[in-house]
Amino acid sequence: MRHAILALIFATLMGCAPGLMEMPPLRSAAPDLRNEVERFLSTDDPEVEAQALGHLKRASVSHGLIRSLLKEQAQAARPSLPRGSRTGLTAHTAGGEYLYALHVPETQEPEAGLPLIVVLHGAGSSGDDILPTWVERLNGEFIVACPSYPMGAWWTKNAEDLVLEVIRQTRADYPVDPSRVFLAGLSNGAIGTYMIGMFYPDLFAGLVPIAGAITPRYMHFLVNLRNTPVYSIQGVYDPIFPIMLSRRINQIMSDMNYPVVYREHEEKGLAHGGHFLPESEIPAMTAWVKKQTRDPLPDKVPLTREANHLDQVHWVRLSSGVNLAALELPGPEGGPVNTKDGKIATLVAARKQGNRFEISGKNLVEFELYLNADMVDFDQPIQVTTQEIIDQGDRLAHGEKVLRFQQKVDTDLEVLLRGFKKNRDPERLYDARVTISLEKTLAHYSTP
């Protein structure tokens, strides 16, 4: 029966296609500033946000101080919550309430925090089922979070929201190293690992899809994984997921010189043929995971996007495209599904020396660049050029380079605070935003 469910799900998938200085926190002089920062971060009321932001701006507080306060806030002491392994925990999303299992090592964590791995189960399993196995595989050194979702339909919007919420909640409750967050999964969990990893690549230090793949329609989004390493394991005799799909994914990533490790095995399990993770593959897989750390500020960010996923990735956001498709697969919970035929937008953002940014793209309308003092000198002008990517059938060519923006950019406290409020990531703090519209003569910056 389990194989029948997996086969039905797979058939469905096949049919779908030098500037600001960092300042130490002023412990005696800044309690009021701390209160206003916390007030901004803790409210959903726009009026309260505006009041806190106004207070901070009138105080002429430096970005360096606020950045220090945000980093301090991210590392603040958490409530004394239980450690060890627990089941029956709940995560609340717009889709409802879902269960997850969690293991937190009881040993003293390193200064940077503990690594976190989120593991997605297959169609006939649950988070409770797989938690002990993954704790053992990682020698109890990782926080392991295993959410449960009906039929393991991790490609759905509700399941995606669940994974993001479990990560958010775990980081709020425990000291997680933001540069060592991983996503792994087997079978349907591998589909989710690819899908969520491709749409939120800057969240993860690495992806581990096992005994599962994505269909060609979604392989366009592998472009997003330039800065997110992948360790893939697939059985040659897997009766559920054809080996040709995993081989195709590996070929695409290898051709792009992306960081990928691809492992094939010829073992056959008693119950599922080659559709499992052999014990012989585990030592190398866990050794790889333990070595990975996220690059929080890569020089180059390539993106492919559709209408349901237009979030910021690293320091760039593709905010609007030409007749964008909306791709969403249905799941067991029903509900509205946002689908639309259309185009996939491509954007490749490169950060150069001398405050220069070069953007190439296809089907672009508008994009945003997020800047901080580690990237640019705010005392000097920022230059942004664009080039169209032209598909000539057998090859891609670039159109004429166009200067879109060249002027100094002011830092904006609201950009800094809103970015941290959304991500709660002390390694992704941006002081300004430049918005480039290809349909307008002028670009604007910082303020929405």
Q: What is the pLDDT of residues 181-217, one digit of tens each?
A: 999 999 999 999 999 999 999 999 999 999 999 999 9
- Please tell me the distance from the alpha carbon of residue 356 to that of residue 347, in angstroms, as a whole number: 16
Q: What is the pLDDT of residues 67-125, one digit of tens each?
A: 999 988 887 767 778 899 999 999 999 889 999 999 999 987 777 799 999 999 999 89
Q: What is the pLDDT of residue 271?
A: 67
Q: What is the pLDDT of residue 61?
A: 87
Q: What is the pLDDT of residue 100?
A: 98
Question: In this model, does residue 448 exceed pLDDT 90?
Answer: no
Q: What is the pLDDT of residue 269?
A: 79
Helix (H/G/I), strand (E/B), else coil: 84: strand
Give the CA distances from residue 245 to residues 40, 43, 222, 224, 444, in Å, rounded to whole numbers and listed in that order.
47, 45, 13, 18, 43
Give me the chain's average pLDDT, please.
Answer: 90
Q: What is the pLDDT of residue 394?
A: 74
Q: What is the pLDDT of residue 39?
A: 93
Q: How does DSSP assign 241-286, residue by residue? A: S-HHHHHHHHHHHHHTT--EEEEEE---BTTTBT-S--GGGHHHHH
H or E stretch covering 166: helix 157-173
With pLDDT > 90 as the criterion, what percentage of the chain qualifies? 78
Q: What is the pLDDT of residues 3-37, one digit of tens each?
A: 444 444 444 444 433 333 344 444 444 558 889 99
- Please tell me the distance from the alpha carbon of residue 389 to that of residue 362, in angstroms, as a whole number: 5
Q: What is the pLDDT of residues 131-168, one digit of tens each?
A: 999 999 999 999 999 999 999 999 999 999 999 999 99
Average pLDDT (419-434) is 94
Cβ contact 152:8 at 8 Å:
no
Segments making up each domain of the chain, as ranges: 31-74, 79-291, 300-445
With pLDDT > 70 as the criterion, what percentage of the chain qualifies? 91
| Cα dihedral 165→65→298→288 (10° resolution) | -60
Average pLDDT (208-233) is 97
CATH code of the domain made up of 79-291: 3.40.50.1820
Q: What is the pLDDT of residue 30?
A: 55
> Could you write out the three-class secondary structure of 305-318?
ECCCCCCCECCEEE
Question: In this model, does residue 266 exceed pLDDT 90?
Answer: yes
- Please tell me the distance from the alpha carbon of residue 297 to that of residue 140, in angstroms, as a whole number: 30
Q: What is the pLDDT of residues 331-384, one digit of tens each?
A: 999 888 999 999 999 999 999 999 999 999 999 999 999 999 999 999 999 999
> Could you write out the three-class secondary structure of 318-382?
EEEECCECECCCCCCCCCCCCCECCECEEEEEEEECCCEEEEEEECEEEEEEEECCCCCCCCCCE
Q: What is the pLDDT of residue 31?
A: 58
